[in-house]
Structure 1
Amino acid sequence: MSTPFVARTEQVARLAQALDRARTGAPTLVLLGADAGVGKTRLLRHVGDVVAAGGARVVTGHCVDLGEIGLPYLPFAEALGVLRGTDPAAVARVVEARPALGRLLGAAGGRAPEDAGPADAADERRELFEGVLEALAACASPEHPLLLVLEDLHWADASSRDLLRFVVSRLSDQPLLVVATYRTDDLHRRHPWRPVAAELARHPRSSHLALAPFTDDELREFAAAVAGRTLPEDQLHRLRERAEGNAYFTEELIEAGADADALPWSLADVLRTRVERLDAATVRLVQLASAAGRRVDEPLLRAAAQAAPGAAHPAGAVDAALR
């Protein structure tokens, strides 16, 4: 189902203004963090359509959850592959000067960048990083500024994180806007993206764009767009209580019937999958908390976890799960 884009006026304006600044020689990184399902991808797809109509080039690279190692440079390789298709001459000139970039894109023979021997690994890596930056700059101009969207950086491998840090550190006058998205609800205390995001946020060329859940007015507008009609206030209140302004949750609940009590299977599977990744003690806490309602005090939750029938987790495991 394709839902018309609604709300998010402030965020659309800020991203469009950032691209206008890039057009005049002030490149920027925008860090867009929000909970899963709030609407990051929907927002950026809409912004991409808007700025493309004004002459901008828009490319997107995606990170994929492939474990701790992942595929090196995956989002950049995807984005540059698209640029090579739209402006082959510009990318070819950079590949000719920077063969490591060609190896990343499969445009030249020889080893891949991550397969270089220890003697020349540093030079290979530097050449690749320089090549990526030069290719992005070569495909951008004041008449056609480049919007580079890097999705789901919480899944980025170490090489992709390092390359992004390099690109941002070399921003000077390129007509380039980089938008990096990530899920804030996936960032545990030791998540590898957390220190990188903090470092990037301190850079003078970067800014942070908040994408909060829908306000009541935005929810009303979004729900009407999804349902194709204005929903009664009691249904809107129920949607607000259950989805808490999350765009994806709201859409799934409306499609299943705003008055239905049961969760649609698609939404239930998403939520269950996220919980089942946790260790057993933490899953038990989630189950107990869900029975308590929206909020539960920590002392009560701790006592319930230790006193529940069949409780098999020692106090230390409960403490760790609470942390």
Structure 2
Amino acid sequence: MKPQNIFLTGKGAKLSGFSLGHLEEGRNLLDASLLFLTADYLAPEQIQGQALNTQTDLYALGVLFYQLFVGPLPFEGNDQAVMQAHLHQPPPSPRKLNPRISFVFEHLILKLLDKNPDNRYASIQQIRRILQGLLASARYQGSSYKEMQVGRDKELATIQSAWQKAQQGQGQLIFIAGDRGIGKTSLIHHAAAQSKAPVMLLGQGCEQERSRPFCLFSQVTQAWLSTISPKTLSAKTRQQLSVLTQVVPNLQQVRPDISPVRPLNPKKEQKRLLSSWIAFFKNAAQKRPWLVMLDDLHWADQSSLELLHRLADYLPSIPMLIIGTYNPEEVGQAYPLSKILRSLQKQPFYHHYRLEALKRLETQQLLDNIWKQPVPASLVQEIHQHTAGNPFFIEQVVKGMADDGLIALGDGSWHFPPLETLRLPKNAREAVWRRIHHLNPDTQTLLRQAAVLGQTFNFDDLLKINNLPPREVLEHLDTALARHLVQEIPDTRIFRFTHSEIQYVLYADIGPDQRRRLHRQAAQALETRVRPNPDYYAEILTYHFIEAGDLEKALTYSLKAARRAESVYANQAAQAWYNKTLEILDQLDPTGVSQFQPIRESTLKSLAWLV
């Protein structure tokens, strides 16, 4: 297999050249004429005349991937030199030659190029599933969720129309509401992929970090910075970003040329922060229109929601489309998001939709899309009735049936089981639990460790928790990617569970003692990684240390979180963290309470001043 034998057609890639050569065993190629063979694509076992199998072709595929995505071949020179390199030399690191390659994709290439055939992937189907997971990550899940967009034509049309207006400088705001698993996230990612927006940015609400000031827009700002070269930053943009260094983690590490400004008193600081952020958005989006996705707004911090509310006043003159999602069950009338919803009702640039469960015919269409063929009406009825038309539940049932071997591909079509053999899970969480328990125990353990880190998790933190070699961790993540349980966030070392329910089920499956131990390890790993500026992560560190039972460390970071919130005039967040500090003090060992009395007194004074 080599590039000359691969042809791209309207119906996909076609392989040719079968009449020109064949896999030959028992003949050492180092001492023979290659004739129709090309040294560049020969596997080590083929060169040595050993037994050949599927993994031999997979090695050639690895060479092709290396050449396509890195540039040069892994080994160059005359035939003898190349064959010796295939046998004895490791290929140069793909990421060193092309840093834009995902480090998970680098792992895939290097695994295909392993000298030992037994260490390569088991089948081309396994590779295809992993690549589908990586493509879903790279395209904001758009293509992977295309088949899931049933009954959402009106919403998709509105988003595309709003994007057209945004590109013309008329900013738009769309809120998508819906119950858990109804398809909010998949809808906005698919719409983003359809838009082909030059700048697509994501901010994700997080339950554990809902009291970290400006968390949502910190993510958006960091995402934007990862898309541009430092040389393209104007003096005006640098000046605006310099104000944000106190609330955007690692901003100075990513852009050392941005110096922080002198802090003001809290009230003036908040005003400067908000005005600088809005000026930054207006300035940056003028060059290339932005499409911003704000997912899970019901978990957003108040400061981010206040900034969103303020930004809405300027949005009609900014080339920006903002799409937000939230679960109405998580939003009370007094919650800041409710205030925003009420205030925007009559604005011409604002649109609001509530996604509903799929009707039976829509479930039929969804199942036909997933299986690429008509599905028996009786099976459709059973699944629709059982899942109440919830797309996520339907998807997990379908994947669970495949995991259980209940459906089989034969003669080019799927064969479905009799209804009486079906034992459908009682809810979506049970469906996820069943799928997880199909994985090998080591992969399950690693995913539970990741679940302790949160909905998103850093690869380096995961390494520190489990003490496994990086390659072994990537092997387990390969499996999770292939099963669409996690996805990689492009251009980072960060992964995300594809749905919050997956993280929830994994976390719930951990016993209390192990949970405490893992939270302690998570806190220590995060502390190590974010030195020397752990204050930016005080909120999540407090959470981990509380769950670990280390209240003294939790007290330290709770105070840091309160003071940082107070410094940017995020009063509600500051109050929440000072109250959390008092709760921790109340839980500490009574024999040691006296040494914490000054902290209690200063906390009460700060709280009284805020109130």
After TM superposition, the score normalised by the length of structure 2 is 0.40
Q: Deviations over 1:32-53 (max 9, x none)?
A: 111111111111111111112x
Q: How many residues align?
A: 265
Distance 2:213 2:356 in 1: 31
Please say if residues 4 and 225 of structure 1, whose CA atoms lie closer than 8 Å, have aligned partners that are also in contact.
Answer: no
Q: Do the aligned partners of residues 139 and 97 (structure 1) sit closer, same or farther apart at CA in structure 2, a change above 3 Å counting? A: closer
Which residue in 1 is equivalent to 2:544? none
Given candidates 249, 267, 290, the residue that maps to 1:122 is 267
Given candidates 208, 225, 243, the residue that maps to 2:352 is 208
Distance 1:174 1:266 in 2: 43
| Residue correspondence of structure 1 range 248-267 to structure 2 within 5 A | 248-257=392-401, 259-263=422-426, 265-267=430-432
Distance 1:149 1:198 in 2: 20
- How big is the shift at 1:238? 1.7
Q: Do the aligned partners of residues 18 and 187 (structure 1) sit closer, same or farther apart at CA in structure 2, a change above 3 Å counting? A: same
Distance 1:237 1:86 in 2: 46
Letter in 2 for 1:175: P
Given candidates 143, 150, 163, the residue that maps to 2:294 is 150
Given candidates 103, 108, 122, the residue that maps to 2:246 is 103
Given candidates 194, 206, 220, the residue that maps to 1:50 is 194
Please say if residues 62 and 151 of structure 1, whose CA atoms lie closer than 8 Å, have aligned partners that are also in contact.
Answer: yes
Q: Do the aligned partners of residues 171 and 4 (structure 1) sit closer, same or farther apart at CA in structure 2, a change above 3 Å counting? A: closer
Q: Do the aligned partners of residues 192 and 233 (structure 1) sit closer, same or farther apart at CA in structure 2, a change above 3 Å counting? A: same
Letter in 1 for 2:216: P
Please say if residues 245 and 260 of structure 2, whose CA atoms lie closer than 8 Å, have aligned partners that are also in contact.
Answer: no
Larger RCO (alpha carbons 8 Å, 6+ apart): 1
Q: Do the aligned partners of residues 265 and 13 (structure 1) sit closer, same or farther apart at CA in structure 2, a change above 3 Å counting? A: same
- How big is the shift at 1:216? 2.8
Distance 2:316 2:332 in 1: 33
Given candidates 338, 354, 361, the residue that maps to 1:217 is 361
Q: Do the aligned partners of residues 178 and 95 (structure 1) sit closer, same or farther apart at CA in structure 2, a change above 3 Å counting? A: same
| Residue correspondence of structure 1 range 83-98 to structure 2 within 5 A | 83-87=224-228, 88=230, 89-90=232-233, 93-97=236-240
| Residue correspondence of structure 1 range 168-317 to structure 2 within 5 A | 168-257=312-401, 259-263=422-426, 265-267=430-432, 270=501
Alignment partner of 2:200: what SS? strand
After TM superposition, the score normalised by the length of structure 1 is 0.72
Which residue in 1 is equivalent to 2:21? none
Please, which moves more after superposition, 188-197 or 20-29? 188-197
Letter in 1 for 2:200: V
Letter in 1 for 2:305: R
Which residue in 1 is equivalent to 2:216? 75
Q: Unaligned regions of 5+ residues in structure 1, if any?
A: 278-323
- How big is the shift at 1:18? 0.2
Please say if residues 91 and 138 of structure 1, whose CA atoms lie closer than 8 Å, have aligned partners that are also in contact.
Answer: no
Please say if residues 179 and 327 of structure 2, whose CA atoms lie closer than 8 Å, have aligned partners that are also in contact.
Answer: yes
Q: Do the aligned partners of residues 104 and 239 (structure 1) sit closer, same or farther apart at CA in structure 2, a change above 3 Å counting? A: same
Distance 2:366 2:188 in 1: 17
Distance 1:91 1:30 in 2: 30
Distance 1:38 1:11 in 2: 13
Given candidates 284, 303, 314, the residue that maps to 1:139 is 284
Q: Do the aligned partners of residues 268 and 193 (structure 1) sit closer, same or farther apart at CA in structure 2, a change above 3 Å counting? A: farther
- How big is the shift at 1:242? 1.9
Q: Do the aligned partners of residues 100 and 47 (structure 1) sit closer, same or farther apart at CA in structure 2, a change above 3 Å counting? A: same
Distance 1:160 1:26 in 2: 22
Please say if residues 297 and 326 of structure 2, whose CA atoms lie closer than 8 Å, have aligned partners that are also in contact.
Answer: yes
Distance 1:197 1:94 in 2: 31
Distance 2:283 2:190 in 1: 25
Q: Deviations over 1:133-166 (max 9, x none)?
A: 2222223248x42111111110011111111111
The structure that has the greater radius of gyration is: 2
Please say if residues 95 and 102 of structure 1, whose CA atoms lie closer than 8 Å, have aligned partners that are also in contact.
Answer: no
Question: Could you say which structure has the higher helix fraction?
Answer: 2
- How big is the shift at 1:194? 2.4
Please say if residues 140 and 175 of structure 1, whose CA atoms lie closer than 8 Å, have aligned partners that are also in contact.
Answer: yes
Please say if residues 172 and 322 of structure 2, whose CA atoms lie closer than 8 Å, have aligned partners that are also in contact.
Answer: yes
Alignment partner of 2:211: what SS? coil
- How big is the shift at 1:267? 4.3
Q: Unaligned regions of 5+ residues in structure 2, if any?
A: 1-132, 134-143, 253-257, 402-418, 435-500, 509-611
Please say if residues 176 and 326 of structure 2, whose CA atoms lie closer than 8 Å, have aligned partners that are also in contact.
Answer: yes
Alignment partner of 2:340: what SS? helix
| Percent pairwise identity | 20
Distance 1:29 1:38 in 2: 20
Distance 1:125 1:92 in 2: 22
Distance 1:189 1:14 in 2: 27
Distance 1:227 1:91 in 2: 50
Q: Deviations over 1:93-129 (max 9, x none)?
A: 32314632233332356599xxx6xx62222212221
